Structures are given as structure tokens and as C-alpha cells.
Amino acid sequence: MLAALKRLERDLGRTEGPRWGPRVIDLDILTYGDVALDEPGLVIPHPLLSERAFALIPLAEVDPSYAPAAAALTPQERAAVEPL
């Protein structure tokens, strides 16, 4: 899966640049079910996920039951994404 994402990034115009610099696209594997993985080049869940509201908020919108994402939301944000 990681190789496919890296290939897709290249196909969409991503080029090598500074580690934290701007980029055309950035695809990360944030989580994968209950998988916990720590291998060279890939850690699941993403090691900085809990620090990235820009990733947690959309993740909570997709899966409001995902505890780390739900915990990162304000009560108003949680109410906006919880199923009726």
C-alpha cells in the first residue's frame, strides 16, 4: 500500500524537496484498522497523528468512533460529526 501511495504522489507531480517544505501532494497512512506496525519507513498508526488536528478532524468525520480522533475534537466539532 505504501509503495502504491508513493507512486501516486509521483504521478501527481510530487518531487523531492525539503522534509517539511511545501509539496504538491502528501499521502500518509494514518491508521489501518487495529494494525500496529513499526518498520523502517512505515509506522502505523502514524507517529504524529495525535498532534495533527488537520488529519484528526477529517478522520473523525469519516470515523467518529476512532478514539484518538474523537478525543482531539472540541465538543462542538464532535457534535458536528457524530451520526444522528
Please indicate whether residue 38 is annotated as part of the active site.
no
Q: Give the number of other Cβ atoms within 10 Å of residue 25's Cβ.
A: 12
Catalytic residue among 7, 11, 19, 26: 26
Q: Is 28 annotated in the active site?
A: yes
CA angle 49, 17, 5 (to 5 degrees): 50
Active-site choice (7, 10, 23, 63): 23
CB contact at 8 A, 36 and 44: yes
26 in active site? yes
- Does 63 participate in catalysis according to the annotation? no
d(CA 84, CA 42): 36
Which of the residues are catalytic?
14, 23, 26, 28
